Amino acid sequence: MKKLLKILSTLFTGFCVVIIVCLAVLVISVKASGGEPTIFGYQFKTVLSGSMEPTFDTGSIIAIELTDEGESFNKNDIVTFVDKDENLVTHRVTDIQQTKAETLYTTKGDNNEGADIEPVLSTNIVGKYAGYTIPYAGFLLNYANSKLGSALLLFIPGLLLFSSSILTLRRTLLGFKKEHEASTARS
């Protein structure tokens, strides 16, 4: 039974360390990028509205591949662009118009009845949906971007590391005490 508890304790400690490292990477990457983290060439965006449901649920995180200026897109591609109010929007391309100076994309949210009013200039498109979605994880990411969330995501892992260190130190001291008592009893 003691071996099973020791194995479970080791697994739990390893799991906590992995969680702590992931949370630290998340917080640091969010703060370093000044917004959404970029990992392995993908940038992660939080879905803030239901305009693309059922494709993306509100609160999900989607991965987009950042695009180069002048890159072209096809009908039905899902793109993230900056609208006239400087907001990031992720919608599906429904029509493409080529002018002499620019390519214009008509976009529409899957859950919206009509197309977006303003066509999207190709220079305003920042990324294309990469096919990866993490449902509802955006709520955590938005919380991590807040001051309280950042503080807690740094404080809680630190507290867990400190607690783990104290428990390890206590176990070590108890082990030394038992060894000392056993060697004293033999003498």
Distance of CA 58 to CAs 45, 50, 152, 160, 164, Å?
Answer: 11, 5, 24, 31, 36
Cα–Cα distance for residue pair 68/82, rounded to 1 Å: 14
List 9, 33, 49, 146, catalytic entry = 49
Q: Which residues pair with 46 in a beta bridge?
A: 61
Q: Is 187 a catalytic residue?
A: no
Q: Which of 3, 27, 20 is nearest to 163 (CA)?
A: 20
Catalytic residue set: 49
